[in-house]
Amino acid sequence: MRWLSLLVFGVVLATWLIPSVGTAGTAANVADVVGTPITRQVFDHWMFVTSKSSTGRGQPVIVPADPPKFTGCITRVRETPRYRHDSETTLRDDCGQLFVSLRDQVLDFLITAHWLEDRASTDHIAFTPAQVRRVFDADKREQFQTSADFKTFLTETGQTIDDVIFRVRVTLIYQALLNKEHLTPAALSAEVAHLFKSRTTCARYYAMSDCVRA
């Protein structure tokens, strides 16, 4: 099981920063996936995970969580001596580019996970919490020599145990769909997008290729 990377079906981790701070005027929910909301809290958490997982030790972790002005992001970036004297326009552009990059990765991960779960439901594919936990426990024993090693992994990636269990469940569903439908990864991706993209909406500033603007 490859749950050390963000997703088995194609999300590439970012290479920079993050803390996620809510801002007045931003949407309570960033997306609605076939009737299931993706909240700002969930979105911001996975933004943090995505960036922290690839940020080097000792480097700042910054989240551009306040579009379109990115006031909070600019303030945090200026705490780093290297960027202290950059213009506000330059830093706003940098925060905006980082936001778009992270946003697209995180929403692709979360939306695709929901699509796979919805597709599995129509095929009567389901895994009990006990089944998922057994796989999680087996994977943890295989990939980490001690409990301390696993705790270090959680700390370094910003994840919780529930986050990892969620990814294990989605990975199991993904593999079960591939096996049952005899599909390639590309074909499964195209199928779930065809079925669910038209019923997936994103709020202002969060629209990307997997959803339509609300």
**Using one digit for the tens of pLDDT, what is the confidence trace for 109-165?**
999 999 999 999 999 999 999 999 999 999 999 999 999 999 999 998 999 999 999
Angstrom distance (rounded) from CA 151 to CA 142: 15
Please name which of 89, 34, 101 lies closest in space to residue 63, comparing C-alpha atoms: 101
DSSP β-bridge partners for residue 168: none
Angstrom distance (rounded) from CA 10 to CA 20: 24
Ranking 107-111, 179-183, 198-202 by mean pLDDT, the lowest is 179-183
By percentage, how much of the chain surpasses pLDDT 70? 85
Query: Quick one: CA dihedral 38, 42, 46, 47, positive or negative?
Result: positive
Query: Quick one: CA dihedral 51, 44, 12, 4, positive or negative?
Result: positive
The pLDDT of residue 26 is: 53
At residue 15, does pLDDT exceed 60? no
Please name which of 108, 126, 136 lies closest in space to residue 12, comparing C-alpha atoms: 108
Question: How would you classify the pairing of strands 200-202 and 212-213?
Answer: parallel
Q: Which residue has the higher pLDDT, 108 or 82?
A: 108
Angstrom distance (rounded) from CA 136 to CA 142: 10
Pair 159, 49: CB distance under 8 Å: yes
The pLDDT of residue 159 is: 94
Q: Which residue has the higher pLDDT, 118 or 6?
A: 118
Average pLDDT over residues 35-57: 88
Confidence at 93, pLDDT banded by 50, 70, 90: very high
Q: In terms of C-beta density within 10 A (0-12 exposed, 13-18 middle, 19 or more buried), how is residue 83 classed?
A: middle
Residue type, 116: L
Average pLDDT over residues 36-56: 88
What does the mean pLDDT of the chain come to?
86
pTM, whole model, 2 decimals?
0.85
The pLDDT of residue 60 is: 75
